[in-house]
Amino acid sequence: MGAQELIATAKALVASDKGLLAMDESNSTCNKRFARLGIPETEEARRSYRELIVTTPGLGEFISGVILYDETIRQSRKDGTPFVKVITDAGIMPGIKVDTGAKDMASHPGEKITEGLDGLRARLAEYSQMGARFAKWRAVITIGDAIPSRGCIEANSHALARYAALSQEAGLVPIVEPEVLMDGEHTLERCCEVTEEVLRTVFNQLHTQRVTLEGMILKPNMVLPGLTCPRQAAVDEVADATVRCLLRAVPAAVPGIAFLSGGQTGELASARLNAMNVRFKSRLPWALAFSFARAIQQPALEIWQGEGAHVLAAQKALYHRARCNSAARLGQYRTEMENNVDSRVI
Ligand code: 13P
DSSP readout, 169-209?
HTT-EEEEEEEEP--SS--HHHHHHHHHHHHHHHHHHHHHT
pTM (predicted TM-score): 0.97
Burial of 259 (0-12, 13-18, 19+ CB in 10 A): buried
> How remote is the CA of residue 135 from the centroid of ligand 1, in Å?
14
pLDDT of residue 343: 42
Pairing of strands 134-141, 173-180: parallel
pLDDT, position 83:
98
- pLDDT value at residue 2: 87
According to the model, what pLDDT value does residue 212 have?
A: 98
Q: Identify which of 24, 136, 292 to mutate to test ligand 1's pocket (most ligand atoms within 8 A of the CB).
A: 292
- Is 33 a pocket residue for ligand 1 (Cβ < 6 Å)? no
Task: Give me the active site residues, please.
Answer: 177, 219
Residue of 324, 304, 327 whose CA lies nearest to 314: 304
Residue 102 CB less than 6 A away from ligand 1: no
Residue nearest to atom 8 of ligand 1 (CA): 22
Whole-number Å distance between alpha carbons of 318 and 29: 19
Task: List, for residues 196-243, the tens digit of each pLDDT value.
Answer: 999 999 999 999 999 999 999 999 999 999 999 999 999 999 999 999
CA of residue 313 to ligand 1 center, whole Å: 23
Cα 109 to Cα 106, 149, 298, distances in angstroms: 8, 10, 31
CA of 296 relative to ligand 1 center, distance in Å? 10
Does 293 contact ligand 1 (Cβ within 6 A)? Answer: yes
With a 6 A CB cut-off, is 321 part of the ligand 1 pocket? no
Contact 68, 97 (CB under 8 A): yes
Q: Which atom of ligand 1 is nearest to the CA of 177?
A: 10
| Strands 93-97, 102-104: pairing kind | unpaired
The whole-number pLDDT of residue 73 equals 98
The confidence score (pLDDT) of residue 341 equals 80
Confidence of residue 1 (pLDDT cuts 50, 70, 90): low
How far away, in angstroms, is 67 Cα from ligand 1 center? 10
Using pLDDT thresholds of 50, 70 and 90, give the confidence band for residue 12: very high
Q: What is the pLDDT of residues 102-137, one digit of tens each?
A: 999 999 999 999 999 999 999 999 999 999 999 999
Ligand 1, atom nearest to 294 Cα: 3
Q: Indicate if ligand 1 lies below 6 Å from the C-beta of 301.
A: no
| Those residues with Cβ within 8 angstroms of residue 278's Cβ, 6 or more apart along the chain or in another chain | 239, 331
Classify 21 in phi/psi space as left (phi over 0), alpha (psi -120 to 50) or beta: beta
At 25-67, the pLDDT tens digits run 999 999 999 999 999 999 999 999 999 999 999 999 999 999 9
> Using CA positions, which residue lies closest to atom 9 of ligand 1?
260
Look at residue 340 in the predicted model and tell me its pLDDT. Answer: 83
**Averaged pLDDT score across all residues of the chain:** 97
Per-residue pLDDT reduced to its tens digit, 261-279: 999 999 999 999 999 999 9
Short-list 150, 247, 254, 262, CA closest to 197: 150
Q: Which helix (H) or strand (E) holds 129?
A: helix 120-130
Report strand pairing: 217-218 vs 256-259: parallel
Give, for ligand 1, the residue of 13, 291, 318, 325 to mutate: max count of ligand atoms closer than 8 Å to Cβ.
291
Rounded to the nearest angstrom, the distance between the alpha carbon of 57 and the centre of ligand 1 is 23
Rounded to the nearest angstrom, the distance between the alpha carbon of 293 and the centre of ligand 1 is 5
13: nearest Cα among 82, 91, 70, 89: 91
Runs of H (alpha helix) within 37-115: 43-54, 70-73, 83-89
